């Protein structure tokens, strides 16, 4: 792997064997974990992008990476239907068989005691030692979203047809929120009060978790796969268009309140993330641009950075000081903000 400076000492570009499908910054900020479609999983030095460790990864392609909350373990998943566990420095500890489906999503429990994997139509949860603790097979369609509901010990999955709630040790869903439509992505608000989904039919759906009451936002240009909740304010940023739409969930919620449109990208936006604890939003798009937006009274674009290729996936470090974005041809760019 070549590492080149790209104009600024605070920026690096890593050339990987293939597209970086998933990115995850280590909680302590020392490294970026990368899942590549070529199969290997890499640990790259956060400062310079140099390769700290490389694992053979997953036959057919690696699709997911996730760090345990304490940063001592890394999990990866891929098209081989397997999950691998590594220590902080990238040494492999275990290989677990999830299913014959692709492992597309991984989520560590808030306590770090177990890691959940969505593999096609199956959900598997293992202890950090690699012992299978939960196994849910009732899915009729591929799982498209996976997270632990903040403040609870429940897992939530999404697929075509709605949301499913899972408790550790139970092989069946403990609750469902049905919705006839194809959910592409699902994310909880920071305290879990709301769950938002982006959908194939160019809508965003939001449930109030406790009551199950829902509302729907439409008018998007395309399918919506880009969602980001803000920690510092009750805001939900969505794309599904060349502009970003920010919904305000404060007060009585977004119904009847016009959302804010953030225009600047020239083509499809591919990923969004708020910087931790701030009202600053990062977006990347097919127009090769990375933009940072800030709300101070009004929204404003405060940074506009260009990469050499269209950008598709984005990861923000836990301290909010670094971002990494994956582009075409295995090109991965990191900026210090």
Residue 7: count of CB within 10 angstroms of its CB? 10
Instruction: For the CB of residue 265, give the shortest distance to another protein in the complex, in Å.
Output: 15
Nearer to another protein, 72 or 142 (CB): 142
**Look-up: residue for tokens 């903040």?**
150
Nearer to another protein, 182 or 294 (CB): 182
Beta bridge partners of 299: 295
* Residues between 252 and 291 that touch another protein (CB under 8 A): 268
* Residues between 122 and 181 that touch another protein (CB under 8 A): 141-142, 160, 179-181
Q: Which of 289, 242, 238, 228 is nearest to 260 (CA)?
A: 238
Q: Can you tell me which of 12, 14, 19, 204 binds another protein, judged by CB under 8 A?
A: 19
The reply on whether position 222 binds another protein by CB under 8 A is yes
H/E/C letters for each residue in the chain?
CEEEECCCCCEEEEECCCCEEEEEECCCCCEEEEEECCCCEEEEECCCCCEEEEECCCCCCEEEEEECCCCCEEEEEECCCEEEEEECCCCEEEEEECCCCCEEEEEECCCCCEEEEEECCEEEEEECCCCEEEEECCCCCCCCEEEECCCCCEEEEEECCEEEEEECCCCCCCEEEECCCCEEEEEECCCCCEEEEEECCCCEEEEECCCCCEEEECCCCCCCCCEEECCCCCEEEECCCCCEEEEECCCCCCCCCCCEEECCCCCCEEEEEECCCCCEEEEEECCCEEEEEEEECEEEEEEEEECCCCEEEEEECCCCCEEEEEEHHHEEEEEEC
Q: Can you tell me which of 223, 303, 321, 336 binds another protein, judged by CB under 8 A?
A: 223
Residue 116: count of CB within 10 angstroms of its CB? 26
Nearer to another protein, 142 or 294 (CB): 142
Instruction: For the CB of residue 72, give the shortest distance to another protein in the complex, in Å.
Output: 30
The reply on whether position 242 binds another protein by CB under 8 A is no
Nearer to another protein, 35 or 275 (CB): 35
Q: Can you tell me which of 203, 238, 283, 317 binds another protein, judged by CB under 8 A?
A: 203
Instruction: For the CB of residue 36, give the shortest distance to another protein in the complex, in Å.
Output: 9
The reply on whether position 18 binds another protein by CB under 8 A is yes
Q: Can you tell me which of 134, 182, 278, 294 binds another protein, judged by CB under 8 A?
A: 182
Nearer to another protein, 136 or 183 (CB): 183
Q: Can you tell me which of 132, 174, 221, 302 binds another protein, judged by CB under 8 A?
A: 221
The reply on whether position 8 binds another protein by CB under 8 A is no
How many residues lie near another protein (CB under 8 A)? 30
Backbone angles phi, psi at 128, to 5 degrees: -65, -15
**Which range in 11-19, 24-32, 162-170, 275-283 contacts another protein by CB under 8 A?**
11-19
> What is the per-residue binding string for another protein in 308-327, x denoting contact by CB under 8 A?
----x---------------
- On whether the CB atoms of residues 304 and 273 are closer than 8 A, the answer is no
Nearer to another protein, 79 or 334 (CB): 79
Instruction: For the CB of residue 301, give the shortest distance to another protein in the complex, in Å.
Output: 24
The reply on whether position 21 binds another protein by CB under 8 A is yes
Chain residues that interact with another protein, rule: CB under 8 A = 17-19, 21, 37-38, 61, 63, 101, 120-121, 141-142, 160, 179-182, 199-201, 203, 221-223, 268, 312, 328-330
């Amino acid at each position: 792997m070549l590492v080149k400076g790209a104009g600024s000492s605070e920026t690096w570009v890593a050339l990987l064997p293939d597209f970086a499908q998933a990115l995850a910054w280590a909680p302590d900020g020392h490294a970026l974990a990368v899942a590549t479609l070529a199969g290997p999983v890499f640990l790259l030095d956060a400062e310079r992008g140099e390769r700290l460790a490389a694992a053979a990864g997953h036959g057919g392609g690696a699709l997911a990476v996730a760090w345990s909350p304490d940063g001592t373990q890394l999990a990866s998943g891929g098209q081989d239907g397997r999950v691998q566990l590594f220590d902080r420095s990238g040494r492999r500890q275990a290989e677990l068989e999830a299913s014959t489906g692709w492992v597309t999503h991984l989520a560590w429990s808030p306590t770090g005691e177990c890691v959940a994997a969505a593999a096609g139509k199956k959900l598997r949860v293992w202890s950090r030692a690699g012992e299978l603790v939960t196994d849910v097979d009732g899915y009729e369609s591929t799982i498209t979203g996976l997270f632990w509901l903040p403040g609870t010990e429940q897992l939530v999955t999404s697929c075509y047809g709605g949301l499913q709630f899972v408790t550790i040790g139970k092989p069946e869903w403990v609750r469902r929120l049905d919705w006839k439509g194809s959910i592409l992505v699902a994310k909880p608000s920071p305290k879990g009060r709301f769950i938002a989904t982006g959908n194939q039919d160019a809508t965003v759906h939001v449930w109030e978790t406790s009551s199950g009451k829902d509302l729907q936002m439409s008018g998007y240009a395309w399918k919506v796969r880009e969602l980001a909740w803000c920690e510092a304010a009750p805001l939900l940023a969505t794309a599904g268009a060349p502009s970003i739409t920010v919904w305000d969930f404060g007060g009585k919620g977004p119904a009847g309140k016009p959302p804010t449109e953030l225009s600047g990208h020239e083509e499809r936006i591919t990923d969004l993330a708020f910087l931790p604890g701030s009202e600053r939003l990062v977006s990347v798009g097919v127009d090769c641009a990375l933009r940072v937006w800030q709300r101070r009274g009004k929204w404003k674009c405060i940074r506009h950075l260009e990469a050499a290729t269209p950008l598709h996936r984005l990861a923000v470090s836990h301290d909010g000081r670094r971002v990494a974005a994956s582009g075409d041809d295995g090109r991965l760019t990191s900026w210090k903000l």
